[in-house]
Structure 1
Amino acid sequence: MSEYKNFDVVIIGGSYAGLSAAMTLGRALRNVLIIDSGKPCNRQTPHAHNLITHDGKSPAEISAEARKQVLAYPTVIWLDDLAVSVTGEDHHFIVSTVGERHFMAKKILFATGVKDLMPPIPGIAESWGISVVHCPYCHGYEYRGQNTGILINGDMALDFGKFIQHWTNHLTIFTNGPATFDAAVHEKILSLNIQINEKKIRELDHHNGYIKALIFEDQSQVELTALYARLPFEQHCPIPEKMGCNLTEHGHIQVDEAQKTNVAGIYAAGDNTTMFRGLSMAMAGGTMAGARMNHELINEVHS
């Protein structure tokens, strides 16, 4: 690839949304470059679920198979690199990478995901995606009926507690310090036979990411098998916001039904656009983005 090679679309992020978009565009005879830095948010997760035909496979295995299929299309190219800037405007974008490569594109797709912000509790980061999880549709079946915790505080504790109780009755809410929800919420949670533990957590005891217990600052501990956590996050890639793409109140890139942002020529798909973080959702968003970008490019030629 020479400097400033022209592409119809540059896709930044080569996980499930990016690969799905690339396949759609490759089948539409579009010249596509995928730039990926190799750090998907589910890289620690041993098994992916709730994805028909691939249930139980590792995310790495699924993405490797997808990448092989996508790159079989001769107009799709893969680059191991990190995009550091996008400049220009619709039909005249320039993408630059940390490897000092530069590419021109008519359209840009950000499939860059989000970065979960870990609390300062030893063991949480090492267990994230393994036994510290965020989604019962992805992991709840495997941990059904087992001793389960929810790391959460605030009024959302009640709704999330009722939700997770569908998978297990052995449930405790850990607020990691004094509860910030009011007495009425507190009583309602207890009436559902969900325990509340307000002790400050010192660390999570685990073996290779599988929880054994939560250990508290007073040296007491509670045995657990799984811990749900609704962690704060930030956009994994800062470029969309720098380009003027609007974010929602929750911090996702704002897109319409076609995965199009408010900036002409820029699309986004995957976890960076929605709270519904599942492989099938990312794939669907990528497919939609690829189809709509191709449709837009066709219309621009014939306008």
Structure 2
Amino acid sequence: MQDVIVIGGSYAGMAAALQLARARRKVLVIDAGQRRNRFASHSHGFLGQDGAEPNRIWAEARRQLEAYPTVDWVEGTASGITGRRDDFRVTLDNGEALSGRRILLATGVADQLPDIPGISERWGQTVFHCPYCHGYELDQGRIGVIATGPMSLHQAQLLPEWGEVTFLMNDALTLDPDQRDDLRRRGVTIEETPIAKITGTAEVKLQDGRTLSFAGLFTATRTEPSGPLAEATGCTLVETPMGSQILTGDTKETSIPGIFACGDVARAPHSVSLAVGDGAWAGAQLHRSLVWPEG
């Protein structure tokens, strides 16, 4: 019987597990190996690791975590959760069943990219979602913002801090006169012609035959929890401007007693730094729930 089973071995899950390990609690981490930033060559904006390769950050974090004798690590995918607080069972896709007093969902999210040929191949390389993570490296070059919905306006308003911006509407939303005036005051070019495909490094071919070249592209993806586990278990989901996420309270506990959630799957906006902070808080709150179970 584990004190806590952490489902998700990325930044938030490991940050939570570290707090519990340092309280000498028995922790099992289940990792499916699908980190959200696995497509990026470098991670930026994470204090002490700025510019490091995501794989190196993750591998070193795992090495440090597994140095604690109360931590176990399982590579696999959790397919089901049954039971109740103090007596949960997690089933893996290979049929193995594991027992724990508490569950932490740190499964991360999946990004839904716009349906544009060529965009998925460049995701994390020259197509991004977070300017704080990737804007500086574009060296104030030309930036294209591909509209997907209302959040795209926010991106187009913010990104002139990092370069000359073209807002590629792509028939995704309609701007009112005040919004258009605001963008023009910020120096943003509004391009109405739909996108045909993305080629080269970050070249956008429009349906009228023109090609626009950029240093990088940004788009506001819609996110959903990675896999159906949270919803199938009965955890309440909530809609945010960025997509759906698991509903949690201040202690990171979900709508099901004894099941907690942290990281991108349980908060917005998203970054490695924010995921680590959220995971550390969740780990402390999980420990408190074990110390004061009546609370």
TM (norm. structure 1) is 0.91
The correspondence for 1:195, drawn from 186, 189, 214, is 189
| Equivalent residue letter for 1:242 | A
Q: How much does 1:90 deviate?
A: 0.7
The correspondence for 1:92, drawn from 71, 83, 87, is 87
The answer for the alignment partner of 2:35 in structure 1 is: 40
- For residues 267-286 of structure 1, the aligned pairs below 5 Å read 267-286=260-279
User: Quick one: distance in 2 between partners of 1:162 and 1:267?
Assistant: 35
User: Quick one: distance in 2 between partners of 1:191 and 1:291?
Assistant: 46
User: Is contact 1:112–1:236 with CA below 8 Å preserved after alignment?
Assistant: yes
The answer for the alignment partner of 1:173 in structure 2 is: 167
The answer for the alignment partner of 1:3 in structure 2 is: none
The answer for the alignment partner of 2:231 in structure 1 is: 241
User: Quick one: distance in 2 between partners of 1:176 and 1:48?
Assistant: 29
- For residues 61-76 of structure 1, the aligned pairs below 5 Å read 61-76=56-71
| Equivalent residue letter for 1:261 | T
Q: What RMSD over aligned residues (CA atoms) do the two structures have, in Å?
A: 1.7
Q: How much does 1:71 deviate?
A: 0.4
CA distance 1:55–1:120, change in 2 (3 Å)? same
User: Quick one: distance in 1 between partners of 2:215 and 2:29?
Assistant: 38
- For residues 247-262 of structure 1, the aligned pairs below 5 Å read 247-250=237-240, 251-262=244-255
- For residues 203-242 of structure 1, the aligned pairs below 5 Å read 203-206=197-200, 211-242=201-232
User: Is contact 1:41–1:115 with CA below 8 Å preserved after alignment?
Assistant: yes
The correspondence for 2:159, drawn from 148, 161, 164, is 164
User: Quick one: distance in 2 between partners of 1:159 and 1:39?
Assistant: 28
User: Is contact 1:202–1:216 with CA below 8 Å preserved after alignment?
Assistant: yes
Deviates more, 1:249-258 or 1:222-231: 249-258
The correspondence for 1:121, drawn from 96, 99, 116, is 116
User: Quick one: distance in 2 between partners of 1:54 and 1:205?
Assistant: 31
Deviates more, 1:134-143 or 1:240-249: 240-249
| Equivalent residue letter for 1:201 | I
User: Quick one: distance in 2 between partners of 1:179 and 1:107?
Assistant: 43
| Equivalent residue letter for 1:63 | W
Identity %: 36
User: Is contact 2:150–2:173 with CA below 8 Å preserved after alignment?
Assistant: no
User: Quick one: distance in 2 between partners of 1:23 and 1:287?
Assistant: 8
Task: List runs of 5+ in structure 1 lacking aligned partners.
Answer: 1-5
User: Quick one: distance in 2 between partners of 1:81 and 1:57?
Assistant: 26
User: Quick one: distance in 2 between partners of 1:179 and 1:239?
Assistant: 32
Deviates more, 1:288-297 or 1:189-198: 189-198
Q: How much does 1:64 deviate?
A: 0.3
CA distance 1:145–1:82, change in 2 (3 Å)? same
User: Quick one: distance in 2 between partners of 1:105 and 1:270?
Assistant: 20
| Equivalent residue letter for 2:161 | H
Query: In the TM superposition, what whole-angstrom CA distance separates every residue of 1:219-263 from its partner, at most 9, and x where no partner exists?
Result: 211001111100112110322222222222221111122211121
| Equivalent residue letter for 1:266 | I
Q: How much does 1:187 deviate?
A: 3.4
Where 1:287 maps in the other structure, the secondary structure is helix
User: Is contact 1:154–1:181 with CA below 8 Å preserved after alignment?
Assistant: no
| Equivalent residue letter for 1:220 | R
User: Quick one: distance in 2 between partners of 1:289 and 1:15?
Assistant: 14
Considering fraction of residues, name the structure with more helix. Answer: 2
The answer for the alignment partner of 2:26 in structure 1 is: 31
Where 1:252 maps in the other structure, the secondary structure is strand
Task: List runs of 5+ in structure 2 lacking aligned partners.
Answer: none
Q: How much does 1:157 deviate?
A: 4.4
User: Is contact 1:158–1:188 with CA below 8 Å preserved after alignment?
Assistant: no
| Equivalent residue letter for 2:186 | L
CA distance 1:160–1:120, change in 2 (3 Å)? closer
